Chains A and B, each alone.
Chain A
Amino acid sequence: MSVLSPLQLCIVCITLTSTVTAANTFAAPGSPDSQQQEYSRPDERLTASFDNLRWVIDQSTRHNVPLSGGNSFWQHAIGLDLHKVFQNEYGDYGTLIFQPFLVRVENLKNPPAFFDDGNDWALNWRMINFNYTALAKGKFNIRLGHFEVPFGLEQNIDTNGTLRQYTFSTRAIKADWGFSVNGALNKLDYEFALSRGSGNDYSSRHNPYLFSGRIGTPVTKNLVFGVSGFFGETLQKNGTTNRKLLAVDLAYYFYQWEFLLELSGGDVDDDTETHILTEASWRSPMESLHLYSQFRNSSKKFSGQRTSLNSITVGIHYDFTSSTGLSGEIRHNFDAALPNQQTSNLLLQLRVRI
C-alpha cells in the first residue's frame, strides 16, 4: 500500500490549514453587516469556512470481464471530492480541489505502479491542487499540486472516475505533481505545466520531469480546436520513458451529438509512435443517458517490429438519479498479438456520489 511522500503530506497540510485560516476572510465585501460583524468565536469561524464549499463522498465499484476468456478483475474506490473557493475583501482568490481516494484492486494483472501487486489497497490522489486566480480576472492563474496533465481532449472533458477515457494510457500518466499557468482569454483557453513526471506518487527516483501544455479555442463554442505538447521523462516501474509528443484535438457539437478527434505522435525512447482517437456520442435531452463509440489506432514498435493496433469501444452511461450512475463498456482489440491483452472486455461500473 502506498503512503504519503513528504511533499504530498506538506501539500495536504497547507491546503487544510488554508481552509481554516481563510475562514476569517469571508464576508460580503463592503456589505453593511461586514462593517460591524467580526468572526470572533470559533464556531463562527468554522461556519464561515464551510461557505463556498462543495463536497461529496464518491464511491464506485468496477468489474472487468474478459469476453474471450482470461483474467477478470475488480476495482473499488471510495473517496472525498471537495471543492472550495477562497475569497477575501477583494473577491475570489483561489480554488481548492481535494480528491483523495482509497482504491482496492483484486486480481488485477499489470497494476499501475502505485499498487504493490494486483490485490492491494492504495491511496490514489485523483486531483489535489490549488489554483490561484487573483492575478488577472481568470486570464492568468497559477496552479500548484496534483492536477491533470494538460494534453489533448482530456483537458476539456470530464473523465474523472469514469469508464470513458481517452488517450492518457498511451502516455502512462494522467495526473502529475507540479505547477501550471492557466487561464481563459477571450478567444483562447490555455494551460502549461511543469511537473515531476512521477504520476500518482511524488517521486524523484530516476529524476523524471515533464513539460506539458495545451492551447485551444473556448469550450463554450460548438467547434473546439486545440494543440498540445508533452515533453519529458516520465517515471515507470523500472526507470523512465522519454516522450516528445505533439497533438491536435478537435471537438464538434451538433444538437445532442458530440464528435471528437485526437491525433498525437512523436518520439518515445528510440521509437516513433502515432495515436488516433475518434469518438461519436449522443446524449438524451436531459443528458441522463450517454451513448458513445470510440475508435483507436496506435502505431508503435513491439519486439522490434512496427505494429498497427486498432480497437473499438462502445459504451453507455445512465444516471438513475442525479447521484447514482451505471456505466458499461465493451472494448474490442482487433489485434490480439499483444501480451496480456484480451481481445474483448466488458467493463461495468456503479458510481454513487452523495
Chain B
Amino acid sequence: MKNLVLTLLLFLNLLPLSRVVEGRAFCALRDPVSSINNLFPEATQHQSLVKAINADIRSEINEVLPFTLHFNELGKHTLYVVQKYGDAQGFVHVRSELTEWGLVEIAWALELDLSMRNLQFQRCRIPGCDVKHLPNILDLTVGKSYSEIRDLLSKDGTSLRPDLQTKLGDSHSFSYSAIKSALKTILVTGMAWNEEVGELNRQAMINRHYGHEASVSVVDIPVNELKLKQLDEIMGGGGSMVERESVKSFQIQREGNMEGTIVTANWRDGDYRGMYHWLFDTEKRVIDILTIPNWPNEQARTSFNQLLGTKIMDEEQCHTAAQIAGFELYFLSHN
C-alpha cells in the first residue's frame, strides 16, 4: 500500500499543474485586521483581492530595480482595499523582506495613487524594533511617491544614499531593507493589481467631480486601429511617453448625456513607468490628471498640473511633453 501512495504522490507532482506554491496550510492565514484598523482608523470595511505574483512580475521588477522578489515571495497574495462607506480610501499590502536578522513583515498602507501613507510592523523579531527603527522608516517613506522613495537609494540601488547612511548610523542597513520592501510593494501592487487599482482611481476621480450619483454610468470605448494609424501619421512616426496601444477610454454619462471622458494609458519617463488617468470634459478641457504610481518628480507634477482647466491644443501648438501626451490621449479617445 505504501508503494501505491508513494507512486500516487510522485505522479501528482509530475502533473503539468500550475505550480503556484503555497507552503503553509491556509488555516494559518490571517487578515491583518489590527493593522488595517490602526493604519486606516476611519475605515468601515475592507475588501480582499487575491492575485498570483508570478515569475513575470519578478522579472519586470528586476528591469527597473537592482533587486527583485525572492522566490518565496511568489504565489498568491492579498491586497486589502480599505473603504469608508463604500469609497476606497487606500490599500494595505503586507510583504516580508529578508534582513540580516531574518524575515521582517511590514503592513504598508498605500494611498490610492500608490504613494506611501503609513506602515506597521506585522513581525519584526529585533528587540525594540518599533522604538529603534519604526520612526526612521516612517520619516523616510510616509507621504512619498515611488520615485521619491527610489531617490533615497544610491544610484545603483544597492544601498541607501551616503548622506542617509551617515544620518541613520547603525540602523541604515535595516532602513535599506525596509526601503526595498516599500519599493517592491508599490511596484507589485501596480503590476499585479493593475486593473483594480486603475478602476478604483477612476471611480475616485468620478466621485470627486460628479459626486456619488447613481445615475452616472461609465462606458468602456475601445481605441480603434484607424485612430492609431492616423496619430502615427500626424506625429510623423515620432515616439512619445504614451504607450498608445494601452489607451482605454471611459465615457461618463448622466441620464444618457455625455459628461466627460476618462482616458487611461501606460506611460514612461526614463526609469519611471506609470498609468495616466486623464479626465476631459465635453469641451476638450482637462479637468483632472493623475498617474499611478504618483508623479516621477515635482517637475513632471507641475508640468502636467499646468494643463488643468485648459483646452487640448492641436499638435502644432504643443510645446511640452505634457501637452503632447494630452493631445495624443484626447485624439485617440475622441472621434
Contacts and interface: CB of A to CB of B under 8 A. Distances in A.
| A and B: interacting chains | yes
Interface of A: 28-36, 51-54, 56-59, 61, 74, 76, 78, 81-83, 85, 87, 89-92, 95, 97, 99, 104, 106, 126-127, 133-134, 137-139, 148, 158, 160-161, 183-186, 218, 220, 222, 253-256, 283, 285-288, 319, 321-323, 325, 350, 352-354
B199 interface: yes
- Residue among B8, B26, B127, B200 with the highest chain A CB neighbour number at 10 A: B26
Interface of B: 1-2, 5-6, 8-9, 12-13, 15, 17, 19, 21-31, 33-38, 43-50, 70-72, 74-76, 78, 81, 83, 86-88, 98-103, 121-127, 129, 196, 199-200, 202-203, 206-207, 216-220, 250, 262
A104 B196 CA distance: 44
A92 B71 CA distance: 29
Given A36-B219, A91-B46, A92-B46, A354 B17 contact: yes
B8 to A, nearest CB: 7
B306 to A, nearest CB: 27
Given A30-B86, A90-B45, A104-B5, A51 B102 contact: no
30 contacts: A30-B88, A32-B202, A32-B250, A32-B262, A35-B217, A61-B2, A61-B6, A78-B8, A78-B9, A81-B26, A83-B27, A85-B78, A92-B47, A95-B31, A137-B46, A138-B31, A138-B33, A139-B33, A160-B28, A184-B34, A185-B34, A186-B34, A222-B129, A286-B70, A322-B71, A323-B23, A350-B9, A352-B9, A353-B23, A354-B12
B47 A76 contact: no
Contact of A54 (B1, B22, B30, B203): B22
Given A83-B29, A354-B17, 15 more contacts: A30-B86, A31-B202, A32-B199, A54-B26, A57-B12, A59-B8, A61-B5, A83-B27, A92-B48, A104-B5, A133-B31, A138-B36, A285-B98, A287-B103, A352-B13
A218 to B, nearest CB: 6
A222 B127 contact: yes
A354 B72 CA distance: 14
B323 to A, nearest CB: 27
A220 B24 contact: no
B26 A256 contact: no
A126 B26 CA distance: 11
A255 B21 contact: no
7 A-B pairs with least C-beta separation: A138-B33, A91-B45, A83-B26, A32-B218, A160-B25, A322-B21, A158-B28
Contacts of A85: 48, 50, 78
A248 to B, nearest CB: 22
A251 B212 CA distance: 48
A78 B9 CA distance: 8
Contacts of A161: 25
A51 to B, nearest CB: 7
B86 A137 contact: no
B125 A222 contact: yes
Contacts of A91: 45-47, 81, 83
B25 A81 contact: yes
B158 to A, nearest CB: 18
Given A61-B5, A287-B102, A137 B23 contact: no
A61 B34 CA distance: 37
A245 B38 CA distance: 35
B86 A36 contact: no
Contact of B101 (A28, A139, A183, A255): A255
Contacts of B48: 52, 85, 87, 92
Contacts, number: 201
A97 B29 CA distance: 10
Nearest to B47: A91
Contact of A29 (B28, B47, B102): B47
Contact of B33 (A57, A99, A106, A137): A137
A323 B37 contact: no
Contact of A137 (B22, B44, B98, B100): B44
A36 B44 contact: no
Given A32-B202, A61-B2, A286-B103, A321 B125 contact: no
A180 to B, nearest CB: 13
Contacts of A106: 1-2
B58 to A, nearest CB: 13
B72 A322 contact: yes
Nearest to B217: A35
A57 B19 CA distance: 11
Given A83-B26, A138-B33, A220-B122, A29 B5 contact: no
Contacts of B126: 255
Nearest to B15: A354
Contacts of A87: 47-48
A321 B21 contact: yes
A202 B318 CA distance: 75
A325 B23 contact: yes
Given A54-B22, A74-B2, A352-B13, A255 B102 contact: yes
- Residue among B23, B25, B129, B217 with the highest chain A CB neighbour number at 10 A: B25
